Structure 1
Amino acid sequence: MRDIAIYGCGGFGREVLQILHALNAQEPQWTCLGFVVDPGIPHPDTVHGLPVVEDIATLERGTRADLAIGIGAPLVRRRVAERMAANGHAFPALVHPRAWIGENVSLGEGVLICAGACLTTDITVEAHVHINLCATVGHDAVLGAYSTISPGANISGNVTLGAGVDIGTGATVIQGVAIGEGAVIGAGAAVVRAIPPHCTAVGVPAKIIKTGVAAL
């Protein structure tokens, strides 16, 4: 059994705990020590019976625990990952047993994949990408580091997402489209042409409504 803590105790942090529970039901492998939050952020003392602390060292048992980052915002996730990596923490890729992963799918460190997600074949998922409930990713897609694929989103084949792209719930990206670093795609949008970096696009078809979105 390996010790692991979850950074973030909100909704997605609790969903990460469910991934750990589902994996342990298949084969016991993880001991979840609790949740970690940034100092000064209001938080409960416990979540689902596990402690919530501001310093992971108070949870650890003599060695560095692995860490899963249950934070949806790509920019915040990157800041946490870089800080905790500098402290010597490792970030396992965690895949819910009821996700379907095809052949030749590469998963970077810290990748989290929820139940019902489907990834077909020849896909690259870079570090710290989140793929949420029932999202799909088609052949030859490349998902840049720290990207978030929200529940029910559909990423078609040969799509390329730059680092930190945030795809909204139920959005669709058609085959062969590239979305630039840090772009935000609104819920239910249909992306039918390339989207430049650091902008927000919404609607069907998706149109840019905002530029200058914060870079990673």
Structure 2
Amino acid sequence: MRNIVIYGCGGFGREVLQVIHAINAEAATWNVLGFAVDPGIEHPETVHGLPVTSELSTFGDDPLPDVVIAIGSPAARKGIATRLGARGHAFPVLVHPRAWLGENVRLSDGVIICAGACLTTDIELSDHVHINLSATVGHDVEIGSFSTISPGANISGNVRLAEEVEIGTGASIIQRIPVGRAAVIGAGAAVVREIPENSVAVGVPAKVIQTKSDPA
């Protein structure tokens, strides 16, 4: 079994722990050492019986544990991945056994796919993409690094999502629609036209209501 640390001990961190438990029920794969959080973040001493620490080095470096980043914010996830990757941590792919993946679905480092998700065929998920509970992804879709697909969202065929996109719970994107970098699609929205980068779009059909400032 390989040692693994879950970065983030909130709700999604606890859900990721359940993903790991489900994987281990199929075949003993992961030894969960505990949870890690950023320094200065208030946290409990334990979560589900596992220790929580702001010092990842607490878990040792011989061997260096793998890390799964269970943080919802794409920007925060990107910062953590950059920092930990420089230290040499590996980011495994975690797929719940009750997710369904078709042929030619390519998963990059740090991807998490939760129970009930359905990905059909000829799909590419870049680094640290999160596909949450019961989300669907159609054929020939590309999802950029650090994007988050929330529970029950539906991504139709030939859709292109750029990096750091957030798709809200129950939102839908129709076929062949691109979504720009760091865009946010609100819960229940129906995206029927291109969404520019750094935009917040809500409603049916989805309309841009805000343009976020670009931190870069």
Query: SS at the partner of 1:17?
Result: helix
**Matching residue of 1:199:** 199
RMSD after superposition: 0.9
Amino acid at match of 2:154: N
The 1:77/1:133 distance shift into structure 2, 3 A limit, reads same
**Matching residue of 1:164:** 164
CA positional deviation for 1:62: 2.1
Which consecutive aligned stretches of 4+ in structure 1 deviate over 6 angstroms post-superposition?
none
Alignment TM-score, normalising by the size of structure 2: 0.98
Q: Structure 1 unaligned runs (5+)? A: none
Structure 1 residues 163-216: Cα deviation after superposition (integer angstroms, max 9, x where no partner): 000000000000000000000000000000000100100000000000025457
Distance in 1 between residues matched to 2:180 and 2:94, nearest whole Å? 26
Distance in 1 between residues matched to 2:169 and 2:200, nearest whole Å? 14
The 1:35/1:212 distance shift into structure 2, 3 A limit, reads same
**Matching residue of 1:29:** 29
Number of equivalenced pairs: 216
Structure 1 residues 111-161: Cα deviation after superposition (integer angstroms, max 9, x where no partner): 000000000000000000000000000000000000000000000000000
Query: SS at the partner of 1:182?
Result: coil
Distance in 2 between residues matched to 1:153 and 1:147, nearest whole Å? 13
Distance in 2 between residues matched to 1:177 and 1:212, nearest whole Å? 20
Within 5 Å, which residues of 2 pair with 1:1-216? 1-60=1-60, 62-214=62-214
Query: SS at the partner of 2:3?
Result: strand
Compare 7-16 and 52-61 and name the one that shifted more.
52-61
Alignment TM-score, normalising by the size of structure 1: 0.98
Query: SS at the partner of 2:32?
Result: strand
Distance in 1 between residues matched to 2:16 and 2:215, nearest whole Å? 26
Distance in 1 between residues matched to 2:66 and 2:121, nearest whole Å? 28
Amino acid at match of 2:23: L
Query: SS at the partner of 2:121?
Result: coil
The 1:215/1:111 distance shift into structure 2, 3 A limit, reads farther
8 A Cα contact 1:182 1:213, kept in partner: no
Amino acid at match of 1:100: W
